Structure 1
Amino acid sequence: MTPRTERQQQIEDAAYRVLERRGFAGATMLAIAREARASHETLYRWYGDKTGLFRALVVRNAEAVRQMLTTQIARGHDPMQTLARLGPDLVDLLTHPRAIALNRAAAADPGGDLAAAIAAAGRGTIGPLIAEVLVAARDRGALRFDDPQAALGLYLDLLVGDLQHRRVIGLDPPPDADQRQARAAQALDRLRRLLDGRDAA
């Protein structure tokens, strides 16, 4: 990790702490700079503005899942195994306290910029990769469907359902590792049953 990358991580950690204490409206660049013990000028130079900083948080949140999918696709790994590996990680990504904090902040952002950033880094970036894995599974005869976007929506509904929404409004705690694994396995099993190329006639 370079000194700049390490410093950015410290600033972004500070941004989450301020966000949790003050909400999106109160998470000003000045408050974040003070929390991170960084200069106001550094934050503006690196991130542009508050929306840019929070957009960077969203992108960093999704990066590990994006990299995993990109690597699996590039190496031609079995797509069903890739989905099995993806499921728990994706549930973790979408229900992690940091993701929930960002979603709550997006709901409080009247301009909608943060919501757009979340959509771009999530469904807009990760979604096409998952769809590519689903198409690869179809090409190998493991699944049958006509519309990749419909298949993607089905998979996400089976995997996540209303869990993220329930987390955002405070009804559910974050699922633990065993719960994430069980949920992912159940979603993949149901996906196989609903889109099983061998059984669909």
Structure 2
Amino acid sequence: MRDDAKAQRKAQIEAAAYDLLAEKGFQNMSMLAVAKAAKASNETLYRWYGDKVGLFQALIETNADRVADRLTDRLTDATDPKSALTDLGPNLLAMLLSDRAVALNQAAASDATGTLGKVLAEQGRGKVFPLIVDLFKRLTDNKVLTGHPVDLATLYVDLLVGDLQIRRATGALGPLTDSVMTDRAQKAEARLMTLAGVS
């Protein structure tokens, strides 16, 4: 199978997996159900992903790559780090609180082996967080903020996200509107500037 055809087929399989995850949950879905929904063979799924946990590892990695690519594009397009920070907030929230991200968090929470939780943490911390740290390095280099970039990035993400991910994953909170996410991002940035801004 050609690389582009295989990538398209994987995208169909992974879309079917997300649909079934939303409908049945991680514990109650099967590789066979995913294969049927994607009109693929069960053998193909096992060959490409190994098992159900392997399939969800692939979903997590693909989602982390997508988030990292989008953040890279947005952060490299912005020449001014302060405007990049303003742009980062609502976009990061939209990615972290998307239906797919919520589904992956729910799957990780219901995986008794803990494997998915570890992959989720590794991918988020390994691919996405360093991009945020790079921005905060630019902000400290440009004397917008004072402090260590890793500490500042951690503080900012805490201020921005708080408990929203867990509340979305448990169903205690529905999807946020763009205006709510923008308002939250503005407040997080203002609080960060109060705590660490260069006067």
TM-score in same-fold range (> 0.5): yes
Give CA deviations for 1:103-136 in whole Å, capped at 9, x if unaligned.
1111110111111111112122211110111011
SS of the aligned residue for 1:123 comes to: helix
State the distance in 2 between where 1:101 and 1:4 align.
24
Alignment gaps of 5+ in structure 1: none
In structure 2, distance between residues paired with 1:113 and 1:42: 22
Structure 2 counterpart of 1:115, one-letter code? G
State percent identity of aligned pairs.
Answer: 44
Question: Aligned residue for 1:172?
Answer: 173
Ranges of 4+ aligned residues in structure 1 off by more than 6 Å? none
Could you tell me whether the CA contact under 8 Å between 1:138 and 1:145 is conserved in 2?
yes
Q: Which residue of 1 aligns with 2:158?
A: 157
Structure 1 residues 191, 160: CA separation in 2 closer, same or farther (over 3 Å shift)?
same
| Residues 14, 36 of structure 1: 8 Å contact kept | yes
The TM-score, its normalising length taken from structure 2, stands at 0.90
Structure 1 residue identity aligned to 2:40: A
Separation of aligned partners in 2, 1:178 and 1:73: 21
**Shift, 1:45, TM fit:** 2.2
Q: How does 1:18-57 map to 2 (within 5 A)?
A: 18-57=20-59
1:58 aligns with 2:60: yes
Rounded to whole Å, the distance in 1 between the matches of 2:101 and 2:67 is 13
Structure 2 unmatched runs, 5+: none
Q: Contact (CA 8 Å) 2:167, 2:173: kept in 1 or not?
A: yes
TM-score, with length taken from structure 1: 0.89
Give the superposed CA RMSD.
1.9
Q: Which residue pairs with 1:139 in the alignment?
A: 141
- 3-state SS, counterpart of residue 124 of structure 1: helix
How many residue pairs align between the two structures? 197
CA contact (8 A) 1:61 1:93 kept: no
